[in-house]
């Protein structure tokens, strides 16, 4: 028995010496822990749109329009996925030109399973591609909240496709893909500028161009299913751990801290929003609490990798106050029917977090400090410049896309269709069989 055991050991030992069980040469830079975490984070971010955002938005509309909202989220996810593979990923992340990347990675040409990412060298490029795709999916999906119950389905598809290519892709390159803002040391850890600001500005303009829903604001019905809203919001909350934690692009302490501050900001935003409602109306609502949580999530997003827990408390509290005030301002004073408060929650939240991180990144306040040559003042200047440039580009491009979409397929459904609901009229189906 001992002889047989020695022979087995000698054979396997020889195999190991020959490298038969070691990693292939191409994988020398691959980190299996980073890769496993990023695959998980990718699934979490897609979970935010399908089904999280779909249920969150679906519960906020009337029952006759639920199915149309679910269809909008599902269809946007599909069309963006195909466009991202064809022509989205490569100009966003290929090369370091100031304004737009190259086209060498269109359809992932030349990318094999063993290819490692230039921007995340411990990951296969396929994983980095998929992670960034989930961001590209949820950003135009956020805009769905500005136009439910009154938009043509063809307009949803055309607007989302053009918006991805003309707004999201250039801005992603500027900030994350070694573009001109990245070269100026702008900070946007997980999308306060790239995701939330762009979506919020575009949502406001699209809602204004569409016009309000019938009966807005006096005869609007309350959300048909607060329970569905809460379910979707909880899925968003959990998925946001992949959104912000995954933006570390590694399984490390930065990812862990990003998840921690994300959770604290969401909880604080929910408490503050509900407390204001309680004081103002005598009752804290479930819709208000979960909206405050989403506001806290959106506001912490750009800062999540740069600040500490105390900073998260500050950002969450600021989100609960400022985002609540702006959502009321947009609907009550400006009379713009941004139906599900995309601008107030995401646009303003993303901008607020982008500014506050300039202060809260300070080591004295528990942050990670600043890049070499940067100070609090210079960081603030770059953040403000980025907000102004990206906000302006988002507005200009969105107005052009709206004009093209209106001319090509029309924007708004007929009044009779709006009365009957978009589920049956646009898709021949209903969410409920009552």
221: number of Cβ within 10 Å: 10
Does residue 234 have a pLDDT over 80? Answer: yes
Strand partners, 58: none
pLDDT at 219 (0 to 100): 83
- The C-alpha atoms of residue 304 and residue 257 are separated, in whole angstroms, by 8
Dihedral sign of CA atoms 85, 88, 93, 95 in order: positive
pLDDT in tens, 358-390: 999 999 999 999 999 999 999 999 999 999 999
Q: How many residues does the chain have?
A: 434
pLDDT at 27 (0 to 100): 53
Does residue 10 have a pLDDT over 90? Answer: no
- The C-alpha atoms of residue 91 and residue 104 are separated, in whole angstroms, by 9
pLDDT at 344 (0 to 100): 98
**Lowest mean pLDDT segment, chosen from 149-163, 211-225, 243-257, 258-272:** 211-225
SS (H, E, C) 41-108: HHHHHHHHHHHHHHHHHHHHCCHHHHHHHHHHHHHHHHHHHHHHHHHHHHHHHCCCCCCCCCCCCHHH
Name the H helices within 88-225. 89-93, 125-143, 153-163, 169-176, 180-183, 198-210
Indicate the helix (H) or strand (E) that contains 319. helix 309-328
pLDDT at 18 (0 to 100): 33
Give this prediction's pTM. Answer: 0.93
- Sorted by where each starts, the structural domains of the chain and their CATH numbers stand as 44-98+125-411 (1.10.3430.10)
- The C-alpha atoms of residue 331 and residue 327 are separated, in whole angstroms, by 7
pLDDT at 433 (0 to 100): 85
pLDDT in tens, 180-195: 999 999 999 999 999 9
Does residue 17 have a pLDDT over 60? Answer: no
Confidence of residue 218 (pLDDT cuts 50, 70, 90): confident
pLDDT in tens, 387-420: 999 999 999 999 999 999 999 999 999 999 999 9
């Amino acid at each position: 028995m001992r002889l047989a055991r020695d022979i087995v050991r000698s054979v396997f030992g020889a195999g190991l010496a020959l490298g038969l069980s070691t990693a292939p040469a191409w994988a020398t830079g691959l980190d299996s822990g980073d890769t496993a975490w990023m695959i998980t984070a990718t699934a979490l971010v897609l979970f935010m749109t399908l089904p999280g955002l779909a249920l969150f938005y679906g519960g906020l509309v009337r029952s006759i329009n639920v199915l149309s909202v679910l269809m909008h989220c599902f269809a946007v996810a599909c069309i963006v996925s195909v466009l991202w593979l064809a022509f989205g990923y490569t100009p966003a992340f290929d090369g370091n030109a100031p304004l737009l990347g190259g086209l060498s990675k269109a359809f992932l040409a030349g990318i094999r399973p063993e290819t490692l990412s230039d921007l995340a060298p411990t990951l296969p490029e396929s994983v980095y591609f998929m992670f960034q795709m989930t961001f590209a999916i949820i950003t135009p999906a956020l805009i769905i909240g500005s136009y439910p119950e009154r938009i043509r389905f063809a307009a949803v598809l055309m607007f989302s496709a053009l918006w991805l290519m003309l707004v999201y892709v250039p801005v992603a390159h500027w900030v994350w893909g070694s573009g001109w803002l990245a070269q100026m040391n702008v900070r946007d850890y997980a999308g306060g500028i790239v995701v939330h600001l762009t979506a919020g500005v575009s949502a406001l303009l699209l809602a204004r161009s569409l016009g309000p829903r019938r009966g807005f604001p006096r005869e609007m019905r309350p959300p048909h299913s607060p329970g569905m809203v809460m379910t979707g919001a909880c899925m968003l909350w959990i998925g946001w751990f992949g959104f912000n934690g995954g933006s570390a692009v590694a399984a490390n302490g930065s990812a862990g801290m990003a998840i921690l501050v994300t959770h604290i900001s969401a909880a604080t935003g929910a408490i503050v929003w509900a407390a204001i409602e309680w004081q103002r109306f005598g009752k804290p609502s479930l819709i208000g609490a979960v909206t405050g949580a989403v506001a806290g999530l959106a506001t912490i997003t750009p800062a999540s990798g740069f600040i500490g827990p105390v900073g998260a408390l500050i950002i969450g509290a600021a989100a609960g106050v400022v985002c609540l005030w702006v959502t009321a301002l947009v609907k009550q004073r400006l009379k713009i029917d941004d139906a599900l408060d995309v601008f107030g929650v995401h646009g303003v939240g993303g901008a607020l977090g982008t500014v506050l991180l300039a202060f809260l990144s300070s080591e004295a306040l528990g942050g990670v400090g600043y890049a070499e040559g940067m100070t609090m003042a210079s960081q603030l200047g770059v953040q403000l410049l980025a907000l102004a440039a990206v906000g302006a580009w988002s507005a200009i491009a969105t107005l052009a896309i709206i004009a093209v979409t209106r001319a090509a397929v029309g924007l708004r459904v007929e009044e009779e269709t709006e009365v009957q609901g978009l589920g049956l009229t646009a898709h021949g189906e209903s969410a409920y069989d009552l």
